[in-house]
Amino acid sequence: MKRLKWGILSTANIGQEQVIPAIMRSENGTVEAIASRGKKAVSVAERLEIPKAYTSYEELLKDPNIDAVYIPLPNGLHKQWVIEAAKHGKHVLCEKPAALNYNELKEMIDACKEHSVRFMEAFMYQFHPQHELVKEIIASGRIGDVSFMRASFSFVLDDDSNIRLDSDLGGGSLYDIGSYTLHSICNLLNEQPTAVYANARIHPKYSVDTTVAGILSFGNGVQASFDCSFDVTDRQAYQIVGSEGTIDVLSAYRPDINENGEGQIIITNATGKETVGVAGDQYKLQVEHFANAIIEDKEPSYSNEKMLQNMKVLDAAYQSIKEGKCVELS
């Protein structure tokens, strides 16, 4: 089997702790190099047994041995380095949110198409098998006709130096974790909203949203609520409500913190309550899927068009916060 040769742009924790180990566990990829601005990549490469370390991103991109790069840089730097990677002929897996708005993302996608490289946003949660099972349960009719969904993701962020609080680099809870709630609602309901309303608590010192709550309305009459926060206790769950029952997913976005990466689905209807455990290695599944798309020269299941649709919803939420009113989507 062909194995994709990966380079990592940045020594960000998410790369060191999750994605690099996932590539190393994968059946179709190897980590060949890591880069940082400065010498940190040298010590990280030594510790993680990565063959090459570069002290600039440009050096890594010039390496002809690298097929694809993973970019876990701050949100505000994604556009620059995705486009630069494309110019060097590297396929790109970029952390979410891939861009700060629709226009940025469109420019990035166009650059990747121009240079004939694949590009995918790293919403790893969607590759966990629990979500496909949820879709099957909905389709089976076990909870009747779906009319409502709610999704929540939160944790307490008490580190004032954390980059998530840097407004210049795309900080804020909606970009960081709210993007998961919006994505999962559209993904599970298989619909795009016709209207979005959101409200936010803005940090008085850092000028980023630390708590956001909102409503999505869909053309088929379904409603959904979402919330995200850096101010409240850990939560990462969604619930789907139908005319005859409910589905609760308790480790919706980070089941990897559980033993064997197990997610838990609870189905409640007139016949009682059933709990189903679903194990999965979502980071490994994500990198293998993207690598296969490159090796087989096909578009990933999370296509560029789906990425743009998701960004439209995120844009609308920010517009609603700014304007204080509901935003309609065409």
Token digits of residue 172: 């804020």
Q: How far apart are CA 237 and CA 271, in angstroms?
A: 23
Task: Check pLDDT > 80 for residue 1.
Answer: no
Token digits of residue 119: 């590009």
Res 44: pLDDT: 98
170-223 residue pLDDT tens? 999 999 999 999 999 999 999 999 999 999 999 999 999 999 999 999 999 999
Paired residues of 5 in beta bridges = 30
Task: Check pLDDT > 80 for residue 249.
Answer: yes
- DSSP assignment letter at 203: P
Q: Which residue's structure tokens are 């599970």?
A: 188
If pLDDT is split at 50, 70 and 90, which confidence band does 292 have?
A: very high
Res 330: pLDDT: 81
Average pLDDT over the chain reads 97
Written out in words, the top-level CATH class of the domain with range 125-283+312-328 is alpha beta
Q: How far apart are CA 86 and CA 108, in angstroms?
A: 9
- Of 171, 196, 170, 169, the residue nearest 185 (C-alpha): 196
Q: Do domains 4-122 and 125-283+312-328 have the same CATH topology?
A: no
pTM: 0.96
Q: Where are the domains of the chain?
A: 4-122, 125-283+312-328
Res 123: pLDDT: 98
Written out in words, the top-level CATH class of the domain with range 4-122 is alpha beta
Q: Is the peptide bond before 129 cis (omega within 30 degrees of 0)?
A: no
Res 8: pLDDT: 98
Task: Check pLDDT > 90 for residue 33.
Answer: yes
